[in-house]
Amino acid sequence: MAETRKAKKKRKNPLFLNDLHFIQIVRLIFLIFLACLLVYLYYLFTKGILLSTIVYQWNQHQETIKVILGIGVYSLLVFYLGYQKGKKG
């Protein structure tokens, strides 16, 4: 006897997180952080304390910000010089 019904295919529904790669998760977290930062800055702007808050944060964390920016600029410079050297060679 021929079977008249089609065999049901079992289709696995992968979880949402199984399809995401590490870079996509990092990008998603960064975009959420950026959106929250923009909302916070807009909130400070509407209260009229944006500039005073930025100045206060700069005065409190000036050395830390300078160190982080210095390391970032140095790293970018080294990698850029290596890129240029590799491109020529």
Domain ranges of the chain: 21-88
Tell me what pLDDT residue 62 has.
95
pTM score: 0.56
For residue 47, give the H/E element and its range.
Answer: helix 22-47
- pLDDT tens for 39-82 read 999 999 999 999 999 999 999 999 999 999 999 999 999 999 99
Strand intervals (E) in 25-68:
none
Give the Cα separation of 40 and 47 in Å (integer).
11
Is a pLDDT exceeding 80 seen at residue 5?
A: no
Q: Calculate mean pLDDT across residues 84-89.
A: 87
Dihedral of CA atoms 47, 52, 56, 62 in degrees, nearest 10, equals: 120
User: In the numeric block, which tokens belong to residue 5?
Assistant: 């019904």
